[in-house]
């Protein structure tokens, strides 16, 4: 659970960092010049800040973005801050299996190493709608898209880790909202049904899936003896474009809660950057982090059988979408 006292006070946890820490602070002194990172949704919000800070630490950053105009503006902002930044842009629409495959192929054709994959992009609280492939939009974008992308890039990450001796890291952005989902966690038999659909619970379902995916992949990689870790994070509550479907509700919530539980964007990117880069996390895998410290997710998120079932279900959905 999130510790409300440390959240509101910014008090540092065991890592030495807390809710008030920024992405620059948690990566200070880290040299990432030998690393290549992919960040989905790096054109705005905490994704952009994550891309900026990783580039600031020397990493070669590839931003996967649906809106290429916004991505170009984001790249210019990064270069304005750091003229020597290595930043590339690739088109990526996570609600399209075709686009995800094209993105992966485009990246692999560049014959670059891949040390870090940050599954950051997402949508939140949208009304019931379908993706290009006929899947419920929040589940398709937030989970299935990243599940497929990770699988397509996994061999490259394994090869890079083996060739360089540098640990690979995968970071899934989840949310405290993973605790507010449907009964049983995932509506396997009603994943696309409009009946009973709740925009809030559907979001929670997708964020639960992010943790389950990270945990199951972590278990599989450990069994293989692969030098790649997989963790999930809750970035905090930040007012970004992610909240466009619930802007007025969130503004009202912020008005009543005040600034105490809210983070700014540099603070919101801190946990992602910490888990992606900090040497203290070497060998740590299958964990969930809040405010740059390991935290305990819900019992559903820790359910190994549920994670295995979700993995098989996700593969089946992708096969179904790819055959259309």
Element holding 246 (H helix, E strand) = none
Render the burial of 180-194: b for 16+ CB within 10 Å, e for the rest: bbbeebbbeeebbee
Angstrom distances, CA of residue 135 to CA of 94, 128, 140, 193: 12, 10, 6, 10
Query: For residues 172 and 232, is the Cβ–Cβ distance under 8 A?
Result: yes
197 is catalytic: yes
The CA-based angle 31-34-38, given to 5 degrees, is: 100
Of 240, 293, 288, 249, which Cα lies nearest the Cα of 268?
240
- Alpha helical stretches, state H, 122-198: 137-139, 145-164
Residue 113's Cβ-count burial label (10 Å; 0-12, 13-18, 19+) is middle
Q: φ, ψ for residue 16 (rounded to 5)?
A: 95, 0
Q: Which token pair is 300?
A: 């559903």
Q: Which of 197, 247, 274, 288 is catalytic?
A: 197
Cβ-Cβ contacts under 8 Å for 35 (sequence gap 6 or more): 54, 58, 59, 60, 115, 116, 166, 277
Give the residue numbers annotated as catalytic, written as ranges. 197
């Amino acid at each position: 659970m999130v510790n409300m006292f440390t959240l509101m006070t910014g008090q540092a946890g065991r890592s030495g960092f807390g809710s008030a820490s920024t992405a620059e602070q948690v990566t200070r002194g880290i040299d990432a010049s030998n690393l290549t990172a992919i960040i989905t949704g790096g054109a705005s919000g905490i994704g952009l800040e994550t891309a900026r800070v990783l580039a600031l630490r020397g990493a070669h950053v590839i931003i996967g973005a649906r809106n290429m105009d916004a991505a170009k503006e984001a790249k210019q902002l990064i270069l304005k801050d750091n003229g020597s930044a290595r930043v590339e842009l690739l088109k990526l629409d996570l609600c399209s299996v075709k686009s995800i495959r094209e993105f992966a192929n485009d990246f692999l054709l560049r014959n670059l190493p891949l040390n870090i994959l940050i599954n950051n992009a997402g949508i939140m609280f949208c009304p019931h709608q379908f993706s290009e492939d006929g899947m419920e939009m929040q589940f398709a974008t937030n989970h299935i898209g990243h599940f497929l992308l990770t699988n397509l890039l996994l061999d490259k990450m394994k090869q890079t880790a083996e060739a360089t001796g540098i640990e690979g890291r995968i970071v899934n952005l989840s949310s405290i909202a993973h605790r507010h989902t449907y009964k049983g966690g995932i509506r396997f038999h009603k994943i696309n049904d409009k009946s009973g659909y709740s925009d809030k619970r559907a979001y929670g379902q997708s964020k639960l899936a992010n943790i389950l995916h990270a945990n199951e992949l972590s278990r599989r990689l450990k069994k293989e003896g692969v030098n790649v870790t997989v963790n999930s994070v809750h970035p905090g509550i930040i007012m970004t474009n992610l909240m466009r479907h619930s802007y007025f509700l969130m503004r009202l919530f912020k008005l009543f809660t005040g600034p105490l539980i809210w983070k700014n964007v540099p603070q919101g990117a801190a946990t992602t950057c910490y888990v992606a880069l900090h040497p203290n996390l070497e060998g740590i895998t299958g964990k969930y982090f809040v405010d740059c410290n390991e935290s305990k997710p819900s019992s559903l998120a820790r359910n190994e059988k549920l994670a295995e079932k979700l993995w098989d279900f996700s593969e089946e959905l992708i096969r179904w979408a790819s055959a259309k």
